A = this chain, B = another copy of it.
Amino acid sequence: MAAQPFHGVLVPVLTPFTASGDPDAGRFAAFCAWLLDQGANGLAIFGTTSEANSMSPGERMQLLDRLVDAGIPAEKLMPGTGACAVSDAVELVRHAVRHGCGGVLMLPPFYYKPVSDDGILAFVAGVIDKVGSSALRMYLYHIPPVAVVGYSLDLVGRLIKAYPQTVVGLKDSSGDWNNTAALLDRYPGFAVFPGSEVFLLDGLRKGGAGCITATGNVNVPGIAKVYANWQGAQAEALQAEITTLRKTMQAYPMVPALKRVVAHFHNDPAWAAVRPPLVPLDATQSAALIADLAKIGFALGEREQRAA
């Protein structure tokens, strides 16, 4: 198994859009810098939370160019490179490797259903073979609640076996702890990141690599504390705190809700914009969400807490 470029708390970064609906590279770079400053160990840009599949491959690649130009270290980046077309995926992966990104996060092709493990394997193998770079580190992105198509336990094993230096980890957004546990049991040394901080402590206790979680957009310090103290006496209490925030957020559509929180606490209303097919929270939902967060004593980031 290859060396692991990522561990700890990775954030699938929200993507801001301008009033005309275009990706807002300036706000995006500033937000990425802030997340790293908050203690994020890596940025899984262009994931589901990032509305990546609501952007064209060209828009995603331009945003990555702008991030690197803005001084965000490429080795901290794990861009999502999933696409339904092998040709699009090859272009996205090549571009990420050329920038020296620490890794890429790879959705299975998600249009056709049902598809066989053989078909998904052929797709992923086609991408890796066409890119043909020993620098590529690929993390599989398993999110059947959204993509419907996923990576079965067996398929993960076949991909590791075929590409041991390249297929080095997986983000498990199945929401199914049994699947995460089975991956950790079956494939030691393979970097498994639960897709929610709810499973962070349980995952670490079984050899997990950390987590890649939407809520990281608003709670890197809290999640990082669990990661730093998972063997300490406070681990359970710290985990309970971040689980409470997660459950509060989960009562709302996650991406619009997170954008609303960022807009509110960063005093930047433009952040609330989403791209169709997502819709922003309405005024009632927004007020209820902010009130729910107040009830659990939420404050955005350590710096804000210190400044207050």
Interface residues of A (CB under 8 A from B): 21, 48, 53-59, 83-88, 91, 108-113, 115-116, 118-120, 122-123, 126, 145-149, 275-279
Measured CA separation A282–B119 after assembly (Å): 13
Closest B residue to A83 by CB, please name it.
B56
- Determine the residue in chain B with the shortest Cβ distance to A91: B56
Q: Which residues of chain B are near A21, meaning CB under 8 Å?
A: 86, 126
Given contact pairs A53-B84, A108-B277, A116-B277, enumerate 8 new A-B contacts (beta carbons under 8 Å): A54-B109, A56-B83, A56-B91, A85-B275, A110-B111, A115-B277, A115-B278, A148-B148
| Residue on B nearest A58 in the bound complex, by CB | B87
Tell whether, in the assembled complex, residue A59 and residue B87 are in contact, meaning their CB atoms are under 8 Å apart: yes
Pick from B56, B122, B126, B148: contact of A57, CB under 8 Å: B56
> Which of A54, A111, A145, A147: most chain B Cβ within 10 A?
A111
What is the chain B residue whose CB lies nearest that of A120? B277
Q: How far apart are the CA atoms of A122 and B275 in the complex, in Å? A: 9
Question: CA separation between A301 and B108, bound complex, in Å?
Answer: 37
Q: Is the CB of A146 within 8 A of B279?
A: no
Looking across the interface, which residue of chain B has its beta carbon closest to that of A149?
Answer: B277
Is A277 in contact with B119, judged by CB distance below 8 angstroms?
yes
Asked whether B53 lies within 8 Å of A111 as measured between CB atoms, the reply is: yes
**A126/B279 contact (C-beta < 8 A), A56-B88, A84-B54 known:** no
B119 touches A278 (CB 8 A): yes
Is the CB–CB distance between A276 and B54 below 8 Å?
no
List, in ascending order, chain B residues with CB within 8 A of A53's CB. 84-85, 111-112
A122 vs B58: C-alpha distance when bound (angstroms)? 22
Tell whether A276 pairs with B146 under 8 Å between CB atoms, given A57-B56, A87-B59. no
Q: Which residues of B contact A86 (CB under 8 A)?
A: 21, 54, 275-276
Are the C-beta atoms of B111 and A146 separated by less than 8 Å?
yes
Q: A53-B85, A84-B54, A87-B56 are in contact. Are A148 and B113 (CB under 8 A)?
A: yes
On whether the beta carbons of B277 and A54 are closer than 8 Å, the reply is no
From B57, B111, B119, contact of A279 by CB (8 A): B119
User: CA separation between A84 and B60, bound complex, in Å?
Assistant: 13
Q: List 12 contacting pairs A-B, 8 Å CB cutoff, sorted by A.
A: A21-B86, A54-B84, A55-B87, A84-B84, A86-B275, A109-B277, A115-B278, A116-B277, A119-B276, A122-B276, A122-B277, A126-B276
In the bound assembly, the distance between CA atoms of A113 and B111 in angstroms comes to: 13
Residues of B within 8 Å of A58, CB to CB, are 87
Do A85 and B59 contact each other (CB < 8 Å), given the known contacts A276-B122, A277-B119?
Answer: yes
